[in-house]
Structure 1
Amino acid sequence: MAFDPLNLKQASSAFEQSLNRVIDERVAPLVDRSIHQVSNELSEVIRQAGEQVDRNIALLSDEIHSQRSMTKDDIRELIDYSTAQIGAAIDQRILAIKHETSTLINEKVDLLKCELEDAAVNSRKTMYANVAISIGAAVLMALVGLAYKKISMGELNLLNVFRVTLLSCATFTFVLSMLKFIQRWRSMKRVKKGVATVAIGYLGILRPNGATGLLVLSVCLMAGWAWLYLGKIWF
């Protein structure tokens, strides 16, 4: 089985599709929400400014009625002062909106960058896994073909191959069960180790972390190997 570079092309296409989907689902709604939020904020600021102007005009009217001695220049100064105060308030509010919007967009962009980096890492992992599976399948098919050729030519005894495989599996499961038991034992607290030491004579000590099943499987495999080996000697 030869390695087909089509897997790389498929991985690249999948990454491009995921990138487009993230942009459509995340970036576009983010920009729309930001524009809508800024529009609402500006509308609110303008409304508040209008209300402030109305209040200032009402206050000015009251002052005019209460003080008939105000001149045209005094009224103009009051209007200029009110306009300057309203302009300063609007400028401060616009600066605050710009800062909040910029901060929100930067946070969302950083989050989007992290998601894109994670998607790229996952895409590379998938590509490497596909390559490894292809290479492993090719090597396995080559080994199976070689073994079949030797068996068909009488150069290899199938029973010996089965015995060696059975012994290897038994040894592997035995070692794995011991490693699991040791790992579980080392992770126990001191009190649990004391209780386990008292119960060392019971089979339950082998139950943690699935060690019992592996040990039983190892014993069965060893028994099967011994039966095949002794059967060959006796018969």
Structure 2
Amino acid sequence: MGFDPLNLKDASVQFEQSMGRVIDERLAPLFDRSINHVSQELSSVIQEAGAQVDRNIALLSDEIHNQRSMTKDDIRSLIDYATLQLGSALDQRITTIKQETSELINQKVELLKSELNDAAALSRKTMLSNVLISIFAALFMAGIGLVYKQVSSGDLSLLSLFRVSLMSCATFTFVLSMLKFIQRWRNMNQSKKGVATIAIGYFGILKPNGAGVLLALSVCLVATCVAAYHFL
């Protein structure tokens, strides 16, 4: 069968006509319905947005109107309420701070009292041991002095024995108290030195490690010794 251009042209015309009928009958109604649906949806969205804007404008207008219609009493009531709330919050915070501060101060005071009581107990123990040491040392020094007195003068009296023993005890106690006081004071840090200074009013006499009592005892012994030399 030979090639016929007329038949090809006729087939092309028929194809175009068929495509035209399909577009007119199928696609055109579909596009029209889609466009109509989209336009309806868009119109609905625009209407809803407009209604929402209108409601917001009306609400804002009502709020502005209410604010403008507030009286001086309403404003004063609001100010009083805010002031009361602020005062209540401040009072509560101040009360909490006072409680915390009081608890902290009480803890520090109790700790200081405990340290002072411990220091006092240690001072009493140290004082007792120092007194015993001083007594034995004084007796030893009195024996040495008695031997020296006996060798140098050749005679022995109870009054001389008493004077030598008393002076030896006073001297040794004084030197020991000074050494203990200086050593204890040099070993203290700044905070403990401050506590020891405050303890003057707490104990009446500053007694770092029992040195104060030993000093007083030595002064009494020296005074007794001087009185013995003058009046005996």
Query: TM-score, normalised to structure 2's length?
Result: 0.32
Q: Which has the larger radius of gyration?
A: 2
**TM-score with structure 1 setting the length:** 0.32
